[in-house]
Amino acid sequence: MEEVNKDIIKKLRVNERIKAMEVRLVGEKGEQLGIMPLYQALEIARKQNLDLVEVAASVAPPVCRLLDYGKYKYEQAKKEREARRNQKVSLLREVRLRPKIGEHDFEAKARLARKLLIGGDKVKVSVLFRGREITHPELGWRLLKRMAESVEEVASVDGQPSMERNRMNVILSPVVTQKTKIKEEIKES
């Protein structure tokens, strides 16, 4: 919460921190009060028990508004917290395979990929080649295709498999279905 308040304080100048000689004053309810010297605007703010806040410093003369700065800061912090809470963080997770992987091991990796995709993360499926295995990239291609087919109801393939040195990669993105929407609604409740 402290860092949110620091950001707001850095962006806005309040009362005596305003450097302009003349300001365009906007009232508490948004009404235009006109262009006036800074000392006169500060006097109006003091009489109304409000703060003078510079909201647009880049224009000439700068626009200042009469408002309760403490209340304004609180409202801004509250909005940022709400926005952060509603933000969905999607990570890129990796599942590694080998060309000579066993059937049971493949199924375990497929279950892991499915779990990650249902959780909302993207999954990078990598086939690692060692030594002369690199001479048979079709094995990696078949493995990636098989993985994509095993999780096709919860994932879509982003692009074609790519080769990077001794790895063949493909990225799987979660597909938002009715079931995952229901699960998200249950989590939020």
Q: What DSSP designation does 3 have? A: H
Gap between the Cα atoms of 160 and 121, Å rounded: 19
Gap between the Cα atoms of 67 and 151, Å rounded: 55
Q: Whose CA is closest to 157, among 100, 113, 112, 108?
A: 113
- Helix axis angle, 69-86 relative to 2-11, nearest 10°? 120
pLDDT score for 9: 46
CATH architecture classification, 92-188: 2-Layer Sandwich (3.30)
pLDDT tens digits, one per residue of 142-166: 999 999 999 999 999 988 889 998 9
Domain boundaries, the chain: 2-84, 92-188
Residue 99, pLDDT above cutoff 70: yes
Average pLDDT over residues 156-183: 81
Q: Coil, strand or helix: which one is 84?
A: helix
Q: What DSSP designation does 110 have? A: H
pLDDT score for 180: 52
pLDDT tens digits, one per residue of 51-97: 898 888 888 889 999 998 888 889 888 988 888 887 777 788 999 99
Do 23 and 35 meet the contact criterion of CB atoms below 8 Å apart? yes
pLDDT score for 84: 83
The CATH code of domain 2-84 reads 3.10.20.80
At residue 100 the predicted structure's pLDDT band, cuts being 50, 70 and 90, is: very high
Residue 101, pLDDT above cutoff 80: yes
Q: Which residue has the higher pLDDT, 21 or 3?
A: 21
At residue 179 the predicted structure's pLDDT band, cuts being 50, 70 and 90, is: low
Gap between the Cα atoms of 110 and 125, Å rounded: 10
Gap between the Cα atoms of 140 and 88, Å rounded: 32
pLDDT score for 183: 58
Gap between the Cα atoms of 29 and 68, Å rounded: 12
pLDDT score for 88: 72
Share of the chain above pLDDT 70, in %: 88
Do 149 and 171 meet the contact criterion of CB atoms below 8 Å apart? no
* Whole-number CA gyration radius for the chain: 29
Average pLDDT over residues 169-187: 71
Query: Which phi and psi angles does 6 have, rounded to 5°?
Result: -65, -40
Gap between the Cα atoms of 109 and 65, Å rounded: 59
